[in-house]
Chains A and B, each alone.
Chain A
Amino acid sequence: MKTLERVHLHAAVAAAAVAIVALPAIAQDYPSRTVEIIHQYGPGGGTDRFIRAISAPMQDATGESFVPISITGGGGVPAYVTFLQRPANGYTLVSISPDDVINHALGRIDLSTVKPLVRIQYDQGLLLVSKDSDLKSIDDVLAAEAATPGGLKVGVTGSAGFDDALVGLFNESAGIELGTVPFGAAEMVSNTLGGHLDMMYEEYGATRGLIESGDLIPLLLFSDERLAELPDVPTAKELGYDVTMGRWRGFGIKPDTDAADVETLVALFRDAAADEGYKKVEADSALQYRSEFIGPEEFQTFLDEEIKTYTKIMNQLGY
């Protein structure tokens, strides 16, 4: 791809320029200034909040800031391209999630240009309806779909991203044709509450307030086991639909970053993920069940597996 070559060239030029400027700083300890974490989601969204939460203990430990940089739009490609343009000096990280794996599977980006660093969160999603909906259980959904296939519309965030893949996989597994309509995260909720959408797909953390107030009713959970917070919500798996994938959140760094710096970062993340303050934030969103800290080697293996899985899914779904 010509464009990617150009990106590499830019990256090389930028790296050279920074290397010259940064020479006197090499002797100092890493990190000695703000580390930026580029992500493709909106400020205030799940990933942005995750980065702020995990970086709080890291700031306490190092005295340096770790700040999320949100570059939205373009299906996440501009965020990744911006990361590629940054020098390999350890001061720019990128968030990695299934959306990036899907972009890789669709040929939009090349994940071999990033070194997986750590994976920390592993989320689980829900199908939710408004309390005023006629759909009271997942059986109602299946029955309605059996009567008029494709009649129900599910709100999702992003286009041709993780949510689409998950709903598509559930459709295949259950033999139904739920249609997806992409919305912004906030509009998706208001359109579901207002009855414009039949259902929406979202994680527990983002919808907890509305679930607790009874405005949103979760019908189905995509995970291996039921959540202690939602004991009455069945999993797709127990109903015989093997769809358990969830959104995970991790970080990557430029492959030629100094090995000692990478080690420092991994250790910082490991401590932060075990930090009590962070653990509490995780538990607030019911993220403690599937989240497991894994380091660079394991994350690379996991990522390779995910790439295979999602390439297969996206092919099946006709993308």
Chain B
Amino acid sequence: MLDSFASAAGYMVGNPMSFLLIIFSVAWGIMFGAVPGLTGIVGVALLIPFTFAFDPTEGMLLLGGVYVGSTFGGSISAILFNTPGSPEAACTSLDGYPMAKRGEAGKALGYALASSAVGGIFGTLVLMFAAPPLARLALQFGPAEYFALAILGITAIASIGGGSLIKGLIAGLLGLAVALIGLDPLTGVARFTFGNLMLLTGVSFIAAIIGIFALAEVLQRFADGPQESESMPQVSTKLPSMAEFLATKATLIRSSVIGTVIGALPGVGATTAAFISYSEAFRWSKHPELFGKGSPEGIVAPESGNNAAVGGSMIPLLALGIPGSATTAVMIGGLTIHGIVPGPMLMQNNSDLVYSVFIGMLLANVLMLIFGLRAARLFALVLKAPYQLVGPAIVVLCMTGVFALNNNVSDVAIMLVFGAVGFFLKCYGLPVASFIIGLVLGPIAEVSLRQGLILADYELMTMVARPIAGTLLAFAALSLVYGLWGQLRRPPSNRQTTAEPKTT
């Protein structure tokens, strides 16, 4: 193994181009992550033709750097404009934007950046040293385990809004209901599409979150009318201190582990990792009441989770040749075009390539931190601009971004509808977090439950009575009971006061 590292490091030193490629790809990735509608997948796919000009190792360094950069990049627009630039950053909006809004944009970006780097480096180190065993662990996850994992996340919807149990449930179930729209994933029957063929594919998640977060926020701000503090006079570009950052270390470690494991599971990626990290951070937090109002843990959890998932999703790719996420699926395509057969033999047959990618991803994370810390303070200054100018610009950017997704007007329509949905969720104090968790985890829970039931010949107990699935489900049930008990024990007056997470 050390030989392989030395050989790969030798390759990179002898090939300075590779360093330039990493620098370029991280910057390119951050840009694709930050611009709404342009995601890491698009960023990687667009670069594939360019990899033809390089050797396969350089090509993979390029794609790996973009993947790392784009997973962080989304959080910039999520924090500054409540506009998640990519789906994996949706969760970061929940606490990042409130923190930025109270004038601490620099701090919010700093938390996101530092936790992204820590999560990313953690995931890469696990990838380097434990890929084969973790890939075997991932194979233990069948439909029953995916189902249990999704249920574990979904049980948080009732409590995560920080207030009323009923409101959390309403929002969460609405999210689950929206997730049902589209072609039935197992039988191919159309559900709730009302004859609209474009709805067969379901509600585009990116279009929906951009509507719910960005557009709804703009609507809200304009509905509130001009405020005296319209341009947020005291925008602080101060970054969090080391002590402040280290105060979140428990969340950081937990989310990095969760992110790496979820990333290693085929078919679920950084977005799921971010949301499950977030709901677990909430469950274990000493200050759950701060979630949704700018809690540092609420930023650290999804950002370390989704960046750890980058390394995690490379695990099945490099150890087994099966992609752990949509972005790695595109990378596999890139490898095959170079004549490399992805599979268990990759690490032996192409060890220079594999180990160069390890080193490249570590470098990419470090570079991201160095560039990002400088850029974060500059980015934060954007908030000094008056909202009358920023708001319309956000709307235009969202419209073009969502259209650019698939060159599809129906996605823009979905975004507009969900802008209204988000606005009304806010009006009635329904927690957006619960809605989105339902929307993200609902499809995973549904599909895996039904796959699992077919495999178990429709015996529910046969399906769930397995070590990993059973443990996760038992844990979900316990935390649900505990949460309910906590809710009911609280005096009703207290329940009322925390029920309105008004953002203004």
Contacts of A296 in B (CB 8 A): none
Contacts of A53 in B (CB 8 A): 337
Contact call A3/B320, Cβ cutoff below 8 A:
no
Contacts of A190 in B (CB 8 A): 138-139, 141, 265-267, 316, 320, 322
Contact call B183/A74, Cβ cutoff below 8 A:
yes
Q: Does B497 sit at the interface, judged by CB under 8 A?
A: no
Q: Which of chain A's residues 1-54 have a Cβ closer than 8 Å to chain B?
A: 2-3, 7, 42-45, 48-49, 52-53
Min Cβ gap A131→B in Å is 11
Q: How far is the CA of A245 from the CA of B59 in the complex (A)?
A: 36
Q: Does A300 sit at the interface, judged by CB under 8 A?
A: no
Contacts of A153 in B (CB 8 A): 454-455
Q: Does A193 sit at the interface, judged by CB under 8 A?
A: yes
Question: Given known contacts A44-B333, A186-B323, what 13 new A-B pairs fall within 8 Å (CB)?
Answer: A44-B330, A52-B337, A53-B337, A56-B49, A75-B200, A82-B408, A153-B454, A160-B187, A185-B329, A209-B342, A210-B343, A212-B345, A284-B341
Can you identify 13 A-B contacts, CB atoms within 8 angstroms?
A43-B333, A44-B323, A44-B331, A59-B49, A69-B406, A74-B200, A77-B197, A181-B451, A189-B266, A194-B140, A208-B341, A213-B345, A280-B339
Q: Does B195 sit at the interface, judged by CB under 8 A?
A: yes
Contact call B183/A73, Cβ cutoff below 8 A:
yes
Q: Which of chain B's residues 312-347 have a Cβ closer than 8 Å to chain A?
A: 316, 320-324, 326, 328-334, 336-337, 339, 341-346
Contact call B451/A44, Cβ cutoff below 8 A:
no
Given A73-B182, A159-B185, answer yes or no on A209-B341 (Cβ-Cβ < 8 Å).
yes
Contacts of B202 in A (CB 8 A): 73-74
Contacts of B330 in A (CB 8 A): 43-44, 48
Contact call A197/B455, Cβ cutoff below 8 A:
yes
Contact call B141/A194, Cβ cutoff below 8 A:
yes
Residues of A participating in the B interface, judged by any CB pair closer than 8 Å: 2-3, 7, 42-45, 48-49, 52-53, 56, 59, 65, 69, 71-75, 77-78, 81-82, 153, 159-161, 179, 181-187, 189-191, 193-197, 205, 208-210, 212-213, 215, 280-281, 284
Contacts of A281 in B (CB 8 A): 336-337, 339
Q: Which of chain B's residues 91-106 have a Cβ closer than 8 Å to chain A?
A: none
Q: How far is the CA of A182 from the CA of B41 in the complex (A)?
A: 24
Contact call B185/A182, Cβ cutoff below 8 A:
yes
Contact call A3/B195, Cβ cutoff below 8 A:
yes
Given A75-B188, A160-B188, answer yes or no on A196-B455 (Cβ-Cβ < 8 Å).
yes
Q: Which of chain B's residues 443-488 have a Cβ closer than 8 Å to chain A?
A: 451, 454-455
Contact call B333/A284, Cβ cutoff below 8 A:
no
Q: How far is the CA of A191 from the CA of B320 in the complex (A)?
A: 13
Min Cβ gap A62→B in Å is 14
Min Cβ gap A214→B in Å is 8
Q: How far is the CA of A186 from the CA of B455 in the complex (A)?
A: 18
Min Cβ gap B4→A in Å is 18
Min Cβ gap B39→A in Å is 11
Contact call B336/A193, Cβ cutoff below 8 A:
no
Min Cβ gap A230→B in Å is 15
**Residue with the highest number of chain A CB atoms closer than 10 Å, among B138, B316, B328, B336:** B336
Q: How far is the CA of A281 from the CA of B333 in the complex (A)?
A: 12
Q: How far is the CA of A182 from the CA of B189 in the complex (A)?
A: 14
Given A43-B45, A183-B451, answer yes or no on A193-B139 (Cβ-Cβ < 8 Å).
yes
Q: Does B391 sit at the interface, judged by CB under 8 A?
A: no
Q: Does B37 sit at the interface, judged by CB under 8 A?
A: no
Min Cβ gap B312→A in Å is 14
Given A3-B196, A43-B329, A210-B344, answer yes or no on A49-B336 (Cβ-Cβ < 8 Å).
yes
Contacts of B334 in A (CB 8 A): 44
Candidates B143, B328, B329, B341; contact of A196 at CB < 8 Å: B143
Contact call A78/B344, Cβ cutoff below 8 A:
no
Min Cβ gap A207→B in Å is 9
Min Cβ gap A130→B in Å is 9
Contact call B339/A159, Cβ cutoff below 8 A:
no
**Residue with the highest number of chain A CB atoms closer than 10 Å, among B188, B265, B321:** B188
Q: Does B198 sit at the interface, judged by CB under 8 A?
A: yes
Min Cβ gap B454→A in Å is 5
Contact call B332/A44, Cβ cutoff below 8 A:
yes
Contact call A213/B141, Cβ cutoff below 8 A:
no
Q: How far is the CA of A76 from the CA of B323 in the complex (A)?
A: 22
Q: How far is the CA of A183 from the CA of B328 in the complex (A)?
A: 17
Q: Does B201 sit at the interface, judged by CB under 8 A?
A: yes
Q: How far is the CA of A202 from the CA of B131 in the complex (A)?
A: 25
Q: Which of chain B's residues 374-421 have a Cβ closer than 8 Å to chain A?
A: 406-408
Q: How far is the CA of A54 from the CA of B344 in the complex (A)?
A: 27
Q: Does B186 sit at the interface, judged by CB under 8 A?
A: yes
